[in-house]
Amino acid sequence: MSDLVKQLEQRNAELEQKVVELTQNLESKEEQLQDSLSELHRLKNHMVQMEKMTMLGQMISGISHEINNPINFIYGNLPYVDEHVEDLCSVIEAFQDAYPNPEESVEDTIEEVELDYILEDLPRIMGSMKVGAERIRDLVLTLRHFYRLDEPDMKEASLEEGLENTLVLLNNRTKQNVEVEREFAGIPKVECYINQLNQVFMNLLNNAIDALLEKAENSSEKRGEKNKITVKTEKVDDNAIAIYISDNGPGIDPEIQSRIFEPFFTTKPMGVGTGLGLSISHKIITETHHGEMTFSSTPGEGSTFTVKLPLSQPKDAQNSGSQGSQSKQSAVV
């Protein structure tokens, strides 16, 4: 009887062990399934963002083209208008010299239209119109250079020009409360998808501005401290360059630093951030361009994001990249 009890106990222990193993295996499969579903969800959202960015880029390219034609017409004619205005002013001054005592009706008209003020103000108006036309033209060119949808292949491009174009587009956010310091070293051109890198720069600079604005709301304005972003370039060696984007914002909490490049992770309020920007930027740098993206941050002092890129890409990267470049270029950051 005792042997039978022992056998039953042993059999029961084996069954319990088998149940534990099956349960662990089921939990492992369930975890793998959850990981697969999360990855599928991430890819789905990535594709949606890519499609949105493609449509945005195409729209901006079309708008830029439509604006560029009339603004070039206006800008091209301004010198002639300016010259004609000067000639007309000269004629009026000559008449005034030749007829210092005009008839009463003419004198009344001169006083009514305030001719002296017109002759003084008209050159200033022409100068303002010229400056305005130049700014619109420069902005249109910047938009076209920023997206570069007409360049689907990997090509050599100036990253410093890309950084400058991005800063121009962000001027409205930085001109009031943020000082931007450029430390460009004249780095050589890099073989890349320039519009992808422009989007990475846009993301990093936008994040830096957000951090500074958050700091301004809390304490920096009270201490009179300037909000500052430093954009620095450097040639690391004969085969690589580096870009450093630093801010003196509040820094990143050490508890979340390990999650910075994690998809869908964000510290921004609901509806403000998607949590995809740094994740996609990291993939653009590390996977598409075979570079490195790292960061360092000290709470209360600020953060620095570092992007290191090779000057040229491996041949296999160029070939594989060209096949899917249209969609890759449009990755949202």
CA 152 – CA 194 distance, rounded (Å): 10
Do 276 and 332 form a contact (C-beta atoms < 8 A)?
yes
What one-character-per-residue DSSP string does 238-249 give? TTEEEEEEEE-S
Cα dihedral 213→218→220→223 (10° resolution): 160
- Does pLDDT of 22 surpass 80? yes
330 closest CA partner among 65, 66, 58: 58
- pLDDT, residue 322, reads 44
Determine how β-strand 178-183 pairs with β-strand 227-237: parallel
- Does pLDDT of 309 surpass 80? yes
- pLDDT, residue 241, reads 96
- Of residues 215 and 330, more confidently modeled: 215
CA distances from 237 to 64, 78, 242, 310 (A): 38, 48, 10, 9
262 CA to centre of own chain: 19
Task: List the structure tokens of 84.
Answer: 């004609």
CA 147 – CA 60 distance, rounded (Å): 8
Could you give the percent of the chain with pLDDT greater than 70? Answer: 78
Q: Indicate the pLDDT class of residue 221, thresholds 50, 70 and 90.
A: very low
Q: Of 20-24, 197-201, 317-321, which range is least confident?
A: 317-321
Question: Which residues, in sequence order, are CB contacts of 226 under 8 Å at separation 6+?
Answer: 179, 248
Name the average pLDDT for the chain. 79
Do 243 and 293 form a contact (C-beta atoms < 8 A)?
no
What one-character-per-residue DSSP string does 53-76 give? HHHHHHHHHHHHHHHHHHHHHHHH
Do 250 and 300 form a contact (C-beta atoms < 8 A)?
yes
Could you give the percent of the chain with pLDDT greater than 90? Answer: 19
- Of residues 53 and 308, more confidently modeled: 308
Per-residue pLDDT tens over the stretch 272-303: 555 567 888 888 899 889 999 999 988 888 89
Sheet of strand 292-298, all strands in order from the earlier edge strand to the far edge: 178-183, 227-237, 240-247, 302-310, 292-298
Q: Of 24-33, 48-57, 191-200, 280-289, which range is least confident?
A: 48-57
Q: Of 16-20, 37-41, 53-57, 304-308, which range is least confident?
A: 53-57
Per-residue pLDDT tens over the stretch 76-131: 888 888 888 888 888 888 888 878 887 888 888 888 888 888 888 888 888 888 87
Q: Indicate the pLDDT class of residue 321, thresholds 50, 70 and 90.
A: very low
CA 50 – CA 333 distance, rounded (Å): 9
Per-residue pLDDT tens over the stretch 67-91: 777 888 887 888 888 888 888 888 8
- pLDDT, residue 300, reads 84
The pTM for the full model equals: 0.56
Burial of 157 (0-12, 13-18, 19+ CB in 10 A): buried
- Does pLDDT of 325 surpass 60? no
- Of residues 67 and 245, more confidently modeled: 245
- Of residues 53 and 33, more confidently modeled: 33
